[in-house]
Amino acid sequence: MRSHLCGRLGAEQAGERVELCGWVHTRRDHGGVTFIDLRDTTGLVQVVFNPEISERSHEVAQDLRGEFCIKVVGEVRTRKAGTVNPNLGTGEVEVAAQEVEILSRAETPPFQVDGHQEVDEMLRLRYRYIDLRREEMQENLKLRHAIVSAIRRFFDAEGFLEIETPMLTRSTPEGARDYLVPSRSHPGTFYALPQSPQLFKQLFMVSGLDRYYQIVKCFRDEDLRADRQPEFTQLDLEMSFVDVEDVLDVTERMFKSVWKEALGVELADFTRLTYGESLQRFGTDKPDLRFGMELTDLSDVFAATEVKVFRGVLDAGGAIKGVTVPRQGALGRKDLDALVDQAKALGAGGLVWVGVEAETLRSPLDKFFTADERVALRKATDASDGDLILVVADKRVSVVNKVLAGLRTRLAERFDLIPKLDRSDPDAWRFAWIVDFPWFEWNDDEERWDFIHHPFTGIVGDTAQYLESDPGKVISKSYDITLNGWELASGSIRIHDREMQQRVFRALGISDEEAQEKFSFLLDAFKYGPPPHGGIAPGIDRIVALAAGQTNIREVIAFPKTQTAFDPLTGAPSQVDEAQLKVVHLRSTAPKP
């Protein structure tokens, strides 16, 4: 139907007769002569309808409206000096229309496609097919394709096999809430959609398939966030006869290769932080390394304090930490109160602010500080005159970290301390490995040890001795990748030794029978010579969103869902009729709408 693509036309085609298809992006009617910008997936080109060239085409052009789908036949002409449009890739040329055909007409769209104004996201999702006409969305999806195809080329070259795993599988007891699918042929039973192909990929290793990867949908029925959708895409991979360094190596090379191919950027080697160090310095295991404002431990500064809240926290074995906000020491009372409220919203009992001035400190607690404490506080935080120190104290170290980590990123955004994204700048991409996670985490509510990663996570050799005596000291062979404050990937070397696996289950308070009941097929498989193995699973949606400079993953998913897991386009989830329910042996207990 067409001979050329709109966005690819240039001076080289001057004089050629071309056939173009696309949508009417904009129309400028001068009465005597009419211009349109014709749009296809490659871009825009100006088409001129001049009655001196074609009376008939000029007449049809009067009828054209935005988003009409048309075909134009005409001659490519270089534009006269002064009429070149430098804002358009094809601005040096235009197409003089000889023939035009309306392929299909369009109603006035619910919002404009030109991208000049933000549109309510609900509306964009309801009319996603129109939203996806916008250049920004097409660029996002093209980048997604470039990244995914670069990933496949990389793993192909490394000798990995892409193998599919079932979507209808067994519900696993731990982890996220499952999406369930009722069985018709087995009344009262359910499949679950996979939260990840974790167990299947481990079985591939038992099978000797050695190096597996898959770009695969995963499903988790949990509440949504900017970086979380109920269905999302993982790059799942697993390798045999490897230890931690092998997985880190291949994964890091993969990311470098992808950034090179998709963005043309040579990434620096990834930073490496232990979990402990990350928490200490940034209060989180997904630190944004693009700016400073590292947390300071102030327990020593206030070791002998008489300030009641601090004294109580220290005596209870808690923590006092601070974060220094550059040049905000003179912040007004209203803003400071708002910060206190933010800290409380994040879970803190309160927030102490300290404005650092040349000779003095400005703080509600200043009168309770000793001279030594004032000096030590300045020194410990390395604060300069004019800075603002925010101090959080709590008997739970985790609360202190969470609150300060939250304030750190929010304030960095608010005060523009994060460099504006330049996607071609290698420094814009602060990848980091987070390693040496603790294996266990104390669950206060249930009063037991829980796993942090999953129950098959390997253990760093000499820490296994604490499995029974002091589980908190056991370090796992798990690792995360973080990029600019987002968790991008998570993985581990797995336990392949049955005895070790049993010790771990016991430490978790899971009996042998219970373990067998829950994970029978994996444990059975491990009777038959499982190789040492491990892997990782980076999130594709997050990778693409970050690479595209987007702040939520919906922008890089063609048909995403809203925060309540609703799809405004299809109306899913929807009611089904009684007959459908009966077939799968279900009856709804939901109130009739």
Partner RNA sequence: GCCCCAGUGGAGCAGUCUGGAGUGCUCAUCUCCCUGUCAAGGAGAAGGUCGCCGGUUCAAGUCCGGUCUGGGGCGCCA
Which of the stretches 15-23, 24-32, 269-277, 287-295 binds RNA when contact is defined by CB under 7 A? 24-32
Stretch that binds RNA, among 15-23, 206-214, 450-458, 572-580 (CB under 7 A): 450-458
List Cα–Cα distances, 291 to 80, 175, 484, in angstroms. 49, 33, 9
Q: How many residues does the chain have?
A: 593
By rule CB under 7 A, what string of x and - marks binding of each residue 467-496 to RNA? ------------------------------
Q: Which of residues 51-70 bind RNA (CB under 7 A)?
A: 51-52, 65-66
Closest CA to 295 of 390, 167, 188, 385: 390
Q: Which is nearer to RNA, 285 or 373 (CB)?
A: 285
**What is the nearest approach in angstroms of RNA to the Cβ of residue 31?**
3
In the numeric block, which tokens belong to residue 477? 């062979």
Q: Restricting to residues 554-583, which ones interact with RNA according to CB under 7 A?
A: 554, 562-564, 566, 568
Tell me which of 104, 118, 591, 592 binds RNA, using CB under 7 A.
Answer: 118
Interaction of residue 501 with RNA, rule CB under 7 A: no
Closest CA to 538 of 218, 59, 139: 218
List the one residue from 59, 99, 101, 120 that touches RNA (CB under 7 A).
120
Per CB under 7 A, the list member of 8, 16, 98, 111 interacting with RNA is: 111
Residue 194 CB, nearest approach to RNA (Å)? 8
Under a CB-based contact definition with an 8 Å cutoff, are residues 433 and 248 in contact? yes
Per CB under 7 A, contacts with RNA among 81-100 are 82-85, 87-88, 91, 94
Inter-residue contact 322 to 381 (CB < 8 Å): yes
Q: Which of 5, 10, 19, 50 binds RNA (CB under 7 A)?
A: 50
**Nearer to RNA among residue 66 and residue 386 (C-beta):** 66
Q: Which is nearer to RNA, 316 or 345 (CB)?
A: 345
172 is an interface residue for RNA by CB under 7 A: yes
Q: Left if phi > 0, otherwise alpha if psi is -120 to 50, otherwise beta: which for 549?
A: left
Residue 96, H or E segment:
strand 93-104
**279, HSE (Cβ side, Cα atoms, 13 Å):** 14
What is d(CA 1, CA 71) in angstroms, rounded to the nearest whole number?
A: 8
Q: How many residues bind RNA (CB under 7 A)?
A: 74
CB of 118 to RNA, least distance (A): 5
Instruction: Kindly write out the interface string for residues 221-250 of this chain, putting x where it contacts RNA by CB under 7 A and - elsewhere.
Output: -xxxxxxx----------------------
Q: Which is nearer to RNA, 65 or 217 (CB)?
A: 65
CB 362 to RNA: min, Å: 27
**Nearest to RNA of 373, 436 (CB atom):** 436
Instruction: Looking at residues 133 to 152 of the shown chain, list those that interact with RNA (rule: CB under 7 A).
Output: none
Whole-angstrom Cα distance, residue 137 to residue 143?
Answer: 10
Strand partners, 438: 475
Both tokens of 110, joined, read 């619910």
Question: Out of 1, 31, 188, 529, which residue is the one contacting RNA (CB under 7 A)?
Answer: 31
Which of 370, 563 has the CB closer to RNA? 563
Smaller CB separation from RNA, 345 or 583: 345
Binding mask 325-364 for RNA (x = CB under 7 A): --------------------xxx-----------------
Indicate which single residue of 1, 30, 371, 593 sits in contact with RNA (rule: CB under 7 A). Answer: 30
Closest CA to 467 of 505, 507, 436: 507
Output DSSP code: residue 419. P
DSSP-assigned letter for residue 171: P
| Interface with RNA in residues 403-422 (CB under 7 A) | 406
Q: Which residue in this structure is represented by tokens 């679950």? A: 192
Burial label, 574 (beta-carbon count in 10 A; 0-12, 13-18, 19+): exposed
Tell which positions 174-203 bind RNA, by CB under 7 A.
174-177, 195-196, 198
Question: What would the two tokens of residue 169 be?
Answer: 């599988």
d(CA 196, CA 30): 58
d(CA 321, CA 313): 11
Q: Given the complex with RNA, which of 55 and 578 has the nearer CB atom? A: 55
| Nearest one of 142, 119, 145 to 130, comparing CA atoms | 119
101 within 8 A of 71, measured Cβ to Cβ: yes
Q: How far is the CB of 455 from RNA (least distance, A)?
A: 7
Minimum CB distance to RNA smaller for 67 or for 387 = 67
- Cβ atoms of residues 313 and 307 within 8 Å: no
Q: Which is nearer to RNA, 229 or 251 (CB)?
A: 229
240, exposed or middle or buried, with CB in 10 Å at 0-12, 13-18, 19+? Answer: buried
Binding mask 452-471 for RNA (x = CB under 7 A): xxxx----------------
| 384 scored as a contact of RNA (CB under 7 A) | no
Residue 145: closest CA among 555, 546, 544: 544
CA within 13 Å, CB half, 193: 13
